[in-house]
Amino acid sequence: MSVLVNKDSKVIVQGFTGSEGTFHAGQMIEYGTNVVGGVTPGKGGQTHLDKPVFNTVAAAVEETGADVSIIFVPPAFAADAIMEAANAGIKVIVCITEGIPVKDMIYVQEYLNGMDCTLIGPNCPGVITAGEAKVGIMPGFVFKTGKVGIVSKSGTLTYEAADQVAKAGLGITTAIGIGGDPIIGTTTKEAVELLMNDPETEGIVMIGEIGGNLEANAAKWIKENGTKPVVGFIAGETAPKGRTMGHAGAIVGGADDTAEAKKRIMRECGIHVVDSPAHIGQKMAEVLGVTA
Amino acid sequence: MNLHEYQGKSILKSFGVAIQEGVVVDKVEDAVAKAKELTASTGTEWYVVKAQIHAGGRGKGTVEETGSRGVVLAKGIDKVEETVKGILGGHLTTLQTNGVGKRVNKVLIAEDVYYPGESEPSEFYMSVLMDRDKGRNIIMYSTEGGMDIETVAEETPHLIFKEEVDPRVGLQGFQARKIAFNLGLSGKAFKEMTKFVAALYAAYEGCDASMFEINPVLKTSDDKIIAVDSKVTLDDNALFRHKDYAEMRDKTEEDPTEVEAGEAGLNFVKLDGNVGCMVNGAGLAMATMDIIKMSGGNPANFLDVGGTADAERVEKAFQIILKDENVKAILINIFGGIVRCDRVAQGVVDAYKNMGNIPVPIIVRLQGTNAVEAKKLIDDSGLNVHSAVQLQEAADLVKEILA
């Protein structure tokens, strides 16, 4: 078991023949991901990385039965690419693209409303189910197979957490990078819920940052519905108010979206919050009663 | 991207939003002639001279050199030059300038709109922004205009109203009417307000804004509704659609080091601490700042070098961090994924050699792809660089060096 993607996922790559798409599709294939083809409008009929290229997502779905798509399309065209994937019946859409205008994402969110699909991202590292499928840009070797799920807004901080978890004698089921933009398809709460319902996942690492209230919402849900221990960290304790820290969504607006406020709420909801990002793995081992 | 008041107003006007008219001046000698031009179109000989800086609280702020306020009423054409002289070229300190005066390079000479008439003028507050919870735009408004909205939110939260816009159909007429009713308007002013709200929302969507704050929106004594001030922030990610707005960027309002870093593809935010840092990824960069604090230091910056941490970038990042004399140590924290750690390590060594002497100790923590090779490269280089593999080791090294 796993969530979102597994060895049976049939994955297509939108923006397949571009430099990003080519590089990361190659890495995904090397990891063992079942990449069945790609989409680049105007290049349909060609073969790229030994896989078929299609003009449209609809054609790719029809020919290959693809159910997962990963998007490497430039920001100006990414919203369109997400909607095309949803329209073609793709069930899990992972959008890596950084820098999509907020207005475009408001429309995307509205378009996806009520459709039977899950959007991960945008501006995210993707999703990886250890040992089965890598649908993202993360270094696969860091994600050793195991029993801990990760939900995170950040890329490299996710790799950091996965590495610590592995070194603590544990490993990963699925890691979900939800993305650092103000509007994202899957929230922290939704990603945590997926992992709570996954029988193979025994503990969850939840990594957030300043800005918005996704972590607080997830914490409240965990308090009511949680069945597994959750270790939490919020980056940006030292970030100044009113400045965007790299991620478009990482900005302290009010009193409730500081790192301190979020950590307080998470603690009140029974999450094992660490103040130091160096203690994520150790804390997870401790709450699961594992010694490295 | 933040805009000046006069730039924001020009965008609003282009979408049909009624504004307080004005002329922009960057030389004192032009002031009178420009003011006369304004009078030719508005009829009034009373003016409000407003400093154009990216900070609020200008009316209560003080110009260091002259003691003038940042917003001053000039009651007559003969007062214009003197008033402009008191503001233009000076340094304006307000509650939002963090104790440092901001140089005023331009002033807006605007028509006075608080003239007496049939009814009393009244001020409202109005902003448009995205509600992050819902992922939808809202219009937030209040009868308490002209005041700091945070104070209103604290003292009289029931006087703040919100209207959510459904993106599928946009702002509807009933919503504009509701806003005008809630603001207590009737007759001509009511109609004017519904038009104002509709135009304002169209402007927000049309220019890909991420925030509009109009404070105050004024009902004049003859029942016109106009924007007297404008605070407009545009979505940086959408500037590719608006080349004309992109050109409005005023780099003199930004930290020069941050501008330089941006041009080199580095995401940099200057802070006040004593330990510089260089990290790949925004989340890990914030986490690294936090770990500096926990180790007894204070972060001097946020710096995300991005996905390609080669020698050139590392060198540029060093140069930028070292501009800050408060920096006592630098922590480099790279989690190599696609980026190979040994390449980054070579970049550090090369940058170090190119720059001759880096006067502060450097802690390099490289983890991930080829981390072992990277550590060896650093350790064998003979440079004043401390290497670590685990994040905790790096934290301990920071503590040790600062002690």
pLDDT in tens, A264-282: 999 999 999 999 999 999 9
Separation CA A178–CA A193 (nearest Å) = 13
Separation CA A176–CA A186 (nearest Å) = 10
Separation CA B270–CA B398 (nearest Å) = 20
**Is A275 close to B294, i.e. CB distance below 8 A?**
yes
Residues of A comprising the binding site for CoA? 17-20, 43, 96-98
- Write out chain A residues lying below 8 Å of B392, CB-based: 276, 278-279
**Is A246 close to B286, i.e. CB distance below 8 A?**
yes
Domains of chain B, earliest start first: 21-111 (3.30.1490.20), 122-246 (3.30.470.20), 256-402 (3.40.50.261)
Separation CA B214–CA B128 (nearest Å) = 9
Per-residue buried b or exposed e for B134-168, using 16+ beta carbons within 10 Å of the residue's own CB: ebbbbbbbbbbbeeebeebeeeeeeeebebebebe
Tell me which chain B residue has its CA closest to the CA of residue A242: B96
**Is A163 close to B335, i.e. CB distance below 8 A?**
yes
Separation CA B314–CA B385 (nearest Å) = 14
Q: Cβ(A221)–Cβ(A177) under 8 Å?
A: no
Active site residues of A: 247
| DSSP secondary structure letters along B299-337 | B-EEEE--S---HHHHHHHHHHHHT-TT--EEEEEEEES
Q: Is A159 part of the contact surface with chain B (CB cutoff 8 Å)?
A: yes
Nearest CA to A100 out of A181, A18, A185, A39 is that of A181
- Kindly report the pTM of this predicted structure: 0.94
pLDDT of residue A190: 98
Q: Is B169 part of the contact surface with chain A (CB cutoff 8 Å)?
A: no
Among B3-12, B202-211, B348-357, whose mean pLDDT is lowest?
B348-357
Nearest CA to B363 out of B336, B338, B390, B325 is that of B390
Separation CA B93–CA B61 (nearest Å) = 5
Taking domain A138-291, whether its CATH number is 3.40.50.300 is answered by no
Nearest neighbour of A157 by CB, restricted to B133, B267, B287: B287
> Can you give the C-alpha Rg of chain B in angstroms?
26
Separation CA A50–CA A53 (nearest Å) = 9
Q: What is the mean pLDDT of chain B?
A: 94
What six digits make up the tokens of A132? 């089965």
CA-based nearest distance B337→chain A, Å: 5
Using CA atoms, how far residue A291 sits from A166, B121, B361, in Å, is 12, 72, 35
pLDDT digits (tens, 9 = 90+) for A27-69: 999 999 999 999 999 999 999 999 999 999 999 999 999 999 9
Taking domain A1-123, whether its CATH number is 3.40.50.720 is answered by yes
- Write out chain B residues lying below 8 Å of A101, CB-based: 208, 235, 237-238, 241
Separation CA A93–CA A120 (nearest Å) = 6
> Beta strand pairing status for B362-368 and B385-388?
parallel
Nearest CA to B346 out of B391, B316, B380 is that of B380
Q: Cβ(A101)–Cβ(B241) under 8 Å?
A: yes
Using CA atoms, how far residue B157 sits from A27, B140, B162, B183, B343, in Å, is 53, 12, 11, 15, 55
Residues pairing with A234 in the sheet:
A208
Separation CA B195–CA B206 (nearest Å) = 16
Could you say which residues from 270 to 289 on chain A have a Cβ atom under 8 Å away from some Cβ of chain B? 275-279
Residues of A comprising the binding site? 17-20, 43, 96-98, 159
Whether cis (ω within 30° of 0) applies to the bond prior to B299 is no
Q: Is A161 part of the contact surface with chain B (CB cutoff 8 Å)?
A: no
Q: What is the dihedral of CA B346, B352, B355, B359, to 10 degrees?
A: 160
Query: Mutating which of B267, B290, B366 best tests the A interface, going by the most A Cβ atoms within 10 A?
Result: B290
pLDDT of residue A292: 55
The residues spanned by each domain of chain A are 1-123, 138-291
Measured in whole angstroms, the distance separating CA B174 from the mean position of its chain's CA atoms is 33
Tell me which chain A residue has its CA closest to the CA of residue B282: A246
- H helices within B207-281, ranges in order? 243-246, 256-263
- Write out chain A residues lying below 8 Å of B240, CB-based: 75-76
Over 90: is that where the pLDDT of B351 sits? no
Q: Cβ(A77)–Cβ(A100) under 8 Å?
A: no
CA-based nearest distance B53→chain A, Å: 17
Q: Is B338 annotated as belonging to a binding site?
A: yes
Could you say which residues from 259 to 288 on chain B have a Cβ atom under 8 Å away from some Cβ of chain A? 267, 269, 271, 273, 279-288
Domains A1-123 and A138-291 share a fold: yes
Query: First-to-last CA distance in chain A?
Result: 25
B188 residue type, one letter: K
pLDDT in tens, chain A (292 residues): 579 999 999 999 999 999 999 999 999 999 999 999 999 999 999 999 999 999 999 999 999 999 999 999 999 999 999 999 999 999 999 999 999 999 999 999 999 999 999 999 999 999 999 999 999 999 999 999 999 999 999 999 999 999 999 999 999 999 999 999 999 999 999 999 999 999 999 999 999 999 999 999 999 999 999 999 999 999 999 998 888 888 888 888 777 889 999 999 999 999 999 999 999 999 999 999 987 5
**Is A75 close to B237, i.e. CB distance below 8 A?**
yes
- Write out chain A residues lying below 8 Å of B293, CB-based: 237-238
- Write out chain A residues lying below 8 Å of B205, CB-based: 103
The residues, ordered by sequence, that sit 6+ positions from B394 with a Cβ below 8 Å of its Cβ are B291, B331, B333, B363, B365, B388
pLDDT of residue B363: 94
pLDDT of residue B357: 78
CA-based nearest distance B231→chain A, Å: 15
Phi, psi (rounded to 5 degrees) for B263:
-65, -25
Q: Cβ(B234)–Cβ(B209) under 8 Å?
A: yes
Looking at residue B373, the DSSP 8-state letter turns out to be H
B85 dihedral zone (left: phi>0; alpha: psi -120 to 50; beta): alpha
ipTM for this prediction: 0.92
CA-based nearest distance A41→chain B, Å: 22
Helix (H, G, I), strand (E, B) or coil at A70: strand
Separation CA B356–CA B389 (nearest Å) = 26
